[in-house]
A and B are shown apart, each in its own frame.
Chain A
């Protein structure tokens, strides 16, 4: 079955630094990837839609200059949290879409803690 790999699984960084999270589709090409954020005991909130070779589409209220998304190839999208603050601490999950008739496949998520 389709596999999405996300790295790192956990990261702790200091306030003001930047963190890059990678999302790879391992056995299929994904023209579209989605980035979600999940705070404790809450559901997944869509942050942005990442399209290969073009600019990402951000949801309302998500700062595009703070959450930089790059989707340079059909198998890799990256999310960079710039100038991280403690309130950015969250669980970040990517998902990738291969066959339009198949469900979205999720990466294992990245637990970000900003100290």
Chain B
């Protein structure tokens, strides 16, 4: 079966750093994605990992370890507008096309 786990809720302070973890067990793997979703809106793409290691993009970084079935999203210099739900998604299957399976999402609350 397909299983993607991430914490349900996290709280952090403005200006701080927060790490959101994601573990997965899927039949096939062809990339892991992180999306941000504000309430009532569609998800917006943050990052993509297909090889092991760290991908950095501004204040956001994402890490992948395929052998461990593990990823994390790192948010630096937190801002109030970063309060949102963060979705970990795995592209299952053997090709680089195909459906994304989403985790349940982590609701991040940034406090002053």
**A43 contacts B by Cβ under 8 Å:** yes
- Complex CA distance for A45 and B96, rounded to whole angstroms: 20
Are B102's CB and A44's CB within 8 A? yes
- Complex CA distance for A103 and B33, rounded to whole angstroms: 8
**A29 contacts B by Cβ under 8 Å:** no
Are A43's CB and B104's CB within 8 A? yes
| Residues in A neighbouring B40, C-beta threshold 8 A | 91, 111
Are A43's CB and B96's CB within 8 A? no
Say whether, besides A44-B87, A103-B45, A97 and B97 are in contact (CB < 8 Å): yes
Are B99's CB and A107's CB within 8 A? no
Considering the complex, which residues of chain B in the window 28-80 have a beta carbon less than 8 Å from any beta carbon of chain A?
A: 33, 40-45, 48
Q: How far is the CB of B107 from chain A (nearest CB, A)?
A: 8
A97, closest chain B residue (CB): B97
B41, B43, B99: the one contacting A46 at CB < 8 Å is B99
A6, A34, A91, A109: the one contacting B99 at CB < 8 Å is A34
Q: How far is the CB of B50 from chain A (nearest CB, A)?
A: 9
Say whether, besides A93-B42, A106-B42, A108-B41, A42 and B100 are in contact (CB < 8 Å): no
A46, A101, A105, A108: the one contacting B96 at CB < 8 Å is A101
Contact with B along A85-100 (1 / 0, CB 8 A): 0000001010101001
**A32 contacts B by Cβ under 8 Å:** yes
- Complex CA distance for A95 and B82, rounded to whole angstroms: 23
**A49 contacts B by Cβ under 8 Å:** yes
| Residues in B neighbouring A108, C-beta threshold 8 A | 41-42
Chain A to chain B: the 4 pairs with minimum beta-carbon distance, closest first: A106-B42, A43-B104, A103-B45, A109-B42
